[in-house]
């Protein structure tokens, strides 16, 4: 069939033609496994110190990554136990390493030494500092506060007078309170498994707890939002009521309509306030603050959906640890998708001129071309007889349509 060139009445600065197909959902992941020096494929969590070094905890030891290579610690070279529960920076070049045997070691200048406390510590799963800098420990034996070189157990009695201090798993500081969850995978009491508690360290009492909803996961965003995952929905905690000592769950704002009626078992926030979720179909979703959703699966480059932790480092890079496939690094994580960029739907052709910082989008069905220049200055043009061609070609002499 002979191709017909139709000259349009508009002329633009020449730019390179791109295609909508260039937005295939493949992402620039870099994968790290023991072949690359990582301690294990079974990574539990990620931590970064003030110098930028990354710490990867695992059931087989600890990896410290300086940006170029991994330095590994196991029971063979000084680690008290191969199962590392958490790490936390305690001072300049001083990082506590907590292992699964009631041991705490200090990593200083690349060397491990025991931390000497006034009393032996409990078996600690997680360490967290509140907004005042007070250190707390979540332990299978209870909730602890660090004072005078010892961990002191805090009373933890629920609204029915029961001692529910065992299997404390997660702590979220909020103002003068702590939101506390127990590790529901470690005990069988269905009545107590999925409760979230609001605890006052000042009065040393549980002052509120959830009633009907089963809370599977919770996390706090940098802007103070707190989201929880229930059996059916993602809900938010009313932070105004929380300041008053009440736990009130509410629906997410309409901005998040795409996910508000979905169930997820994993919630994490990055430094930019994006929420990372894992759904029942085992796809990792990034939910932007504008409600946009990007899905990451094995077909788009993710090693496995068996994700344990999502972490954003000081340079903005996203690191994804997994329980079975090591660590994935998302080199460029600032992705977003929209069905109507700059108000133009059904985009059929797109191109960009780097030297002029100009984007051109064309919609055949809408019979419209728009250009986007510096500071999002938008110009749009109606294209007559657009059904006669399906591709745009720009030249120094103008814009041409090809059919």
Residue 15 is classified by DSSP as: -
Where do the domains of the chain lie?
Answer: 5-23+345-402, 29-330
* Strands of 271-315, DSSP E: 275-279, 284-287, 293-296, 307-312
Per-residue pLDDT tens over the stretch 247-290: 999 999 999 999 988 888 889 999 999 999 987 667 899 999 99
What is the pLDDT confidence band of residue 394, given thresholds at 50, 70 and 90?
low
User: Token pair for residue 252?
Assistant: 């997410």
Residue 193 — pLDDT band, cuts 50, 70, 90?
confident
Contact 322, 329 (CB under 8 A): no
Least confident of 106-115, 161-170, 297-306: 297-306
pLDDT score, position 26: 66
**Which of 74, 83, 17, 85 is closest to 47 using CA atoms?**
85
Q: Which of 226-235, 318-327, 366-375 has the highest mean pLDDT?
A: 318-327
Question: Is 29-330 in CATH node 3.40.50.300?
Answer: no
Rg (alpha carbons) of the chain, rounded to whole number: 26
Residues 235/256, Cβ–Cβ less than 8 Å:
no
Residue of 396 and 178 predicted with greater confidence: 178
Please say whether the beta carbons of 115 and 104 come within 8 A.
yes
Three-state secondary-structure class, residue 254: helix
More confident residue, 353 or 216: 216
- Find all residues with CB under 8 Å of 229, minimum gap 6, and list them: 215, 216, 217, 218, 263, 264, 265, 266, 267, 277
Q: Does the pTM exceed 0.75?
A: yes
Alpha carbon of 169 to those of 158, 186, 191, 213: distances in Å? 16, 10, 17, 18
Integer Cα distance of 191 and 184 in angstroms? 11
Length of the chain, please? 403
Within 13 Å, how many C-alpha atoms sit on residue 120's CB side? 5
Helical ranges in 230-305 per DSSP H: 239-243
Nearest to 152 by CA among 165, 161, 163, 162: 165
């Amino acid at each position: 069939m002979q191709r017909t060139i139709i000259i349009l009445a508009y002329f633009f600065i020449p730019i390179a033609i791109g295609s909508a197909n260039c937005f295939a959902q493949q992402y620039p992941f870099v994968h790290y496994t023991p072949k690359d020096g990582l301690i294990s494929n079974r990574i539990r969590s990620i931590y970064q110190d003030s110098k930028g070094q990354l710490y990867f905890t695992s059931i087989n030891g600890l990896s410290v990554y300086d940006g170029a290579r991994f330095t590994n610690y196991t029971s063979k070279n000084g680690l008290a136990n191969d199962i590392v529960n958490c790490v936390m920076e305690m001072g300049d070049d001083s990082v506590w390493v907590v292992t699964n045997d009631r041991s705490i070691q200090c990593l200083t200048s690349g060397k491990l030494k025991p931390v000497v406390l006034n009393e032996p510590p409990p078996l600690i799963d997680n360490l967290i500092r509140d907004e005042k800098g007070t250190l707390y420990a979540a332990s299978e034996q209870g909730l602890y506060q660090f004072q005078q070189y010892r961990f002191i157990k805090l009373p933890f009695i629920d609204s029915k007078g029961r001692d529910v201090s065992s299997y404390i798993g997660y702590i979220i500081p909020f103002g003068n309170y702590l939101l506390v969850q127990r590790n529901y995978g470690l005990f069988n009491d269905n009545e107590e498994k999925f409760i979230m508690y609001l605890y006052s360290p000042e009065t040393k009492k549980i002052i509120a707890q959830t009633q009907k909803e089963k809370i599977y996961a919770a996390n706090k965003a940098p802007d103070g939002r707190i989201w929880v995952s229930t059996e059916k929905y993602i809900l938010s905690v009313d932070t105004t009521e929380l300041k008053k000592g009440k736990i009130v769950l509410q629906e997410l704002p309409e901005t998040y309509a795409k996910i508000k009626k979905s169930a997820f078992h994993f919630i994490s926030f990055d430094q930019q306030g994006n929420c990372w979720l894992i759904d029942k179909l085992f796809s990792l979703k990034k939910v932007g603050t504008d409600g946009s959703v990007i899905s990451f699966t094995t077909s788009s480059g993710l090693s496995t959906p068996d994700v344990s932790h999502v972490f954003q480092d000081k340079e903005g890079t996203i690191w994804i640890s997994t329980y079975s496939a090591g660590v994935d690094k998302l080199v460029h994580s600032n992705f977003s998708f929209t069905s109507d960029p700059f108000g133009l739907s059904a985009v059929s052709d797109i191109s960009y001129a780097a030297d002029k910082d100009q984007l051109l989008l064309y919609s055949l069905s809408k019979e419209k071309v728009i250009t986007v220049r510096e500071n999002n200055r938008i110009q749009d043009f109606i294209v007559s007889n657009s059904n006669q061609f399906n591709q745009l070609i720009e030249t120094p002499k103008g814009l041409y349509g090809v059919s």
